[in-house]
Structure 1
């Protein structure tokens, strides 16, 4: 079985599975209500990513109700949009960059209710922990 490539449909589906079987995420995200676009933007370090990739995740009370690679970015109007260059996302999903620290230092950008995000820091950390459990390949 081949490893899912970050970012891809296979990778985001693997993350959905990891989140839904994580008791820690279920507990940490129990008050969360809101869906996301995670936007992975091209950067100079990643020639293999010529245009932005949108990953949609419907996160609700400690569960991921759906997750997929978006083909039409206008198809959903998520409550939150988090975006960053591929190299920054790679650091997040490999637990080298805390997403909240990334937001505070401008390495990641957020559209949506920042207060809601700050009240759910543990959920964000558990999501990153779930990402690290995916044996993924990365673009070069």
Structure 2
């Protein structure tokens, strides 16, 4: 069972996205690359920020990279960053991702209205993240 956050977890998440008809339909016109930053939390066992980057087009995730440099991550159209515990709450369905973006729990850089146009795709991403059989570093 992959542990969040890890390369194995990201690989399984990409597999879930790319086999989901619902995601393919919801994201069919979405083209962007997104950097996700899981901010360090020493007490929870995450000693440093983890930067990941994924590229989306045609209703699929074309590629994803785990633990990239902040410099590489800065090249994305969008960056979504939050503390590890917020990401855990999003994955477990306790925080709605769109509300989290609007409330500032998830800090977004890039054109937020573009992301908001794809609410259904974002909701599918969260549903799929919860579908990944996983544990968390602080479990």
Verify: 1:31 aligned to 2:29, yes or no: yes
Deviates more, 1:67-76 or 1:85-94: 67-76
> For residues 139 and 90 of structure 1, what CA distance do their matches in structure 2 show?
10
Contact 1:45–1:87 (Cα < 8 Å) also in 2: no
Residues 109-118 or 71-80, more deviating: 71-80
Distance 2:91 2:35 in 1: 15
| TM alignment of 1:69-84, pairs within 5 A | 69-76=66-73, 77-84=75-82
Name the one with the larger helix percent.
Answer: 2
Residue 7, structure 1, aligned to residue 5, structure 2: yes
The equivalent residue for 1:114 is: 112
How many residues are treated as equivalent by the alignment?
A: 137
**What is the CA distance between 1:30 and its match in structure 2?**
1.0
Cα RMSD, aligned residues only: 1.2
**1:66 equivalent in structure 2:** 63
Aligned partner of residue 30 in structure 1, secondary structure: coil
Q: CA offset at residue 107 of structure 1?
A: 0.6
1: CA distance, partners of 2:69 / 2:46: 17
- Write the distance in 2 (CA, Å) between the matches of 1:63 and 1:73: 24
Please say if residues 53 and 68 of structure 2, whose CA atoms lie closer than 8 Å, have aligned partners that are also in contact.
Answer: no
Extract unaligned runs of 5+ from structure 2.
none
C-alpha contact (below 8 Å) 1:80/1:113 kept by paired residues: yes
Say if 2:51 and 2:67, in contact at 8 Å, map to a contact too: yes
Contact 1:81–1:110 (8 Å) recurs in 2: yes
Q: How big is each residue's C-alpha offset from its partner over 1:36-64, in whole Å with a ceiling of 9 and x where there is no partner?
A: 11100023652x10110011111112100
TM-score normalised to structure 1 length: 0.93
Q: Which residue number in structure 1 is paired with residue 50 of structure 2?
A: 53
TM-score of the superposed pair, with normalisation by structure 2? 0.93
- How big is the shift at 1:95? 1.4
